Every structure is written in C-alpha cells, then in structure tokens.
Amino acid sequence: PQGSEKAKTFVHAFLKRSMPKMKDEAIQDMLTRKAVVLEHYPKKKVKQKRKKTKGFTAKQRRELRLFEIEPEQQRYAIFLPLHELWKQYIRDLCHGLKPDAQPHMIQSKLLKADLHGAIVTVTKSKCPSYVGITGIILQEFKHVFKIITKEDKLKVVPKLNNVFSLELDGFISYIYGSKFLLRASERSAKKFKLRGTIDL
C-alpha cells in the first residue's frame, strides 16, 4: 500500500537524520528488525576559555589613591564606632573574655584576628619616638600599621622592631611586630609557633 511506502521512507529519512554517521546498508539492516534502537551521538561542546579579570596593579592603586584616607576623614571620633564593633567581634571570637579564660587560647585567636578597629599602644621600640603612640588601627599592611590618635593625627608605624599592646576587658595582649610581618589575610591561615623569648 501507498501509506506503508511513505512510512518506510519517513523512517529511513528519520534514521539517516538521527544517525548521520551510519551508512545506508547499516540503516537498511536495522529496518529488517522488529525493534529499532537509536544511537545517540552527543555534539562535542567547544569549551570557551574564561578570561581572567585583571585587577589593578600596585602602581594603579597608588595612582588612584585607593588606600589613602582623606584629611577631612582623619578624625579619631569618626572611628570610635569601628572600635566598638571590633570589641564585640573579639568577644564573640573568644566566646566572651571571662576571668577564667586561658590566656594562651585568647592569644592564639588574637594572632589570627582582624585588627582593624583595635586600640593599640607602642610599648617598646628601637626608635624612641614611636613609644607611647596610642590609637585605633585604621589600616594594616604587611610592614606597617596606620593608626589614628586622639589628637586626630594619622601615624604610620612600622611593625619591625616595635612591640604593641592592646587591652580589652582587662586582658592585655602584646604583639611583637617583627614576628607579625604579614598581611591580615595571610595571618588567618598561618600557624604561629610558641617561642620562649622574643627580641625586638
């Protein structure tokens, strides 16, 4: 019958379109069977190379003055709320600074904590002019702290050869800057070793 020929032609064309890699003889051989199992040939996906987004270079950051604090913003009172946030952050980190808390456990957590907003004092230094500087840490870099004092002066204090102290809820901790020459992001992953004596 005419209808069966049309059906046969349609099936042949369908198989040819569905399985382009198959030869006509193989398709005819499949048509002689009662069941036809279609084979699937997935198209190869072309992987597109992702373009890495390039950030600013150190030179560009300096030119754009991204990390500079404007003179009108260099006021101690502006950053007191930041200090209050930092105190709450440390209390949460140390599960509350209770009198029975173990000092070495708190010290180990402070070593890895973010110090932006902490009030620190330079207690020892090889350069006498740094001793006594007290203020809120605004920025921490690998080699320096930028500190705003109560006199609204922005001080850049090197970590090397300086000892800093910070006090919170009666707990006083000392930071030996010479052993602290890391960025804040790098400190969180570093394992600090306990040493008996540390020189400036």
* 147: helix, strand or coil: strand
pLDDT of residue 41: 59
Is the pLDDT assigned to residue 33 strictly greater than 80?
no
Structure tokens, 44 = 């190869």
pLDDT in tens, 68-83: 888 888 899 999 999 9
pLDDT of residue 2: 55
Q: Domains in the chain and their CATH numbers?
A: 1-32 (no CATH), 73-189 (2.30.30.210)
| Range of weakest confidence among 98-102, 114-118, 160-164 | 98-102
pLDDT band of residue 194 (cuts 50, 70, 90) is: low
pLDDT in tens, 89-113: 988 888 777 777 777 777 788 888 8
Is the pLDDT assigned to residue 195 strictly greater than 70?
no
Q: Do the beta carbons of residue 130 and residue 145 sit within 8 Å? A: no
Q: What is the pTM of this model?
A: 0.65
Structure tokens, 132 = 């006594």
Listed residue (144, 188, 170, 154) closest to 71, CA to CA: 154
CA distance 69 to 163: 25
pLDDT in tens, 47-72: 777 776 677 787 887 788 777 888 88
